Every structure is written in C-alpha cells, then in structure tokens.
Amino acid sequence: MFALDGASGDFWVFGYGSLMWNPGFAHEEAVKARLFGYHRALCIHSHVYRGTPQRSGLVMGLDKGGSCVGMAFRVAAREEEAVTRYLHERDMMNYVYRDLK
C-alpha cells in the first residue's frame, strides 16, 4: 500500500506482514503505523506459499474494515521504480491487490 509524501515525491509503503521485519528494499525511515479501514486476515487463497494449484491454502492479507498496526517505510522518490517493481514481484503474484500507481 502506497501513499505520496507531498512535494518531495517520496512515498510511503505500509507493511503488515513479513514486510515489517524484512522489507527487502531501500528506505529512508521506518515508523510504527496504523492503517484504518483494513484489517489483517487469512483471506488470500494461494498455492505459492501454502497448498497446491489443485487445493490452495490461506495466507495473510488485508480485508476491509477495522484497522491494522504495521510499519510504514518512507522511500525516496529516486527509488520509486526499483521499489515498486520489487514489491510487485514479491506481493502481486496472486493479483489480489489493486495497483495504486
């Protein structure tokens, strides 16, 4: 999940699962954050991390409602392309999230 940081062009990435302790991308700062309107839930069917193509397993995702505590990472504008590509490869393999960019 991304949010722009005003005129600087920097942007924020919200991590609610493994991104919290292993972001895997360059960032300028990391702070504890709460995301309102979504909560952590076992709501994504996957055969990549759990299960098989014939019988998928459930993995953590964000579902509508409530709030979620995680980490927010401020990423420099100059890193936008590399970080966006990395996150897409890491977390969009199931195409369950909308790309906000």
Number of residues written out for the chain: 101
100: helix, strand or coil: coil
DSSP state of 84: H
Q: Which amino acid is at 87?
A: L
pLDDT at res. 1: 57
pLDDT at res. 8: 75
Q: Tell me the C-alpha distance between 26 and 16, whole Å.
A: 17
Instruction: Flag whether pLDDT at 7 surpasses 70.
Output: no
* pLDDT (mean) for 75-93: 87
Q: Tell me the C-alpha distance between 49 and 70, whole Å.
A: 21
pLDDT band at 95 (very low <50, low <70, confident <90, very high): low
Mark out the alpha helices in 48-79 (DSSP H runs): none
Q: Tell me the C-alpha distance between 46 and 44, whole Å.
A: 6
Q: Tell me the C-alpha distance between 93 and 33, whole Å.
A: 25
* pLDDT (mean) for 73-95: 85
pLDDT tens, residue by residue, 8-66: 789 999 999 888 999 999 999 999 999 999 999 998 888 777 788 888 888 888 999 99
